[in-house]
Amino acid sequence: MRSCPYCGATLVFDRMEKIYNCGRCGAALSLQDLVEHREKAKAEKEKMMRERRKHEEYLEWWLSSKK
């Protein structure tokens, strides 16, 4: 089951329209829209993890230089 990228509710597939509908927020998304949302969220998460790792490496370096 797919979940809505906006509110997290379960999406229902409409076979006639070939789109996913959200019963909670009313979003209507094609499969391509869902793939794009997933890729964007994955890219943002990877960016955040890189920034966190960079910060942790800097902090480790800074603390080790203070010994």
pTM of the model: 0.69
Whole-angstrom distance, CA of residue 37 vs CA of residue 4 = 10
pLDDT of residue 65: 82
pLDDT-based confidence at residue 1 (cuts at 50, 70, 90): confident
Tens-digit pLDDT profile for residues 5-46: 999 999 999 999 999 999 999 999 999 999 999 999 999 999
Q: Output the pLDDT for position 67.
A: 62
Burial 23-62 (b: 16+ CB within 10 A, else e): eeeebebeeeebeeeeeeeeeeeeeeeeeeeeeeeeeeee
Residue 11 bridge partners (DSSP)? 22
Q: Are 26 and 39 in contact, with CB atoms under 8 Å apart?
A: no
Tell me the backbone φ, ψ of residue 28, rounded to 5 degrees: -125, 115
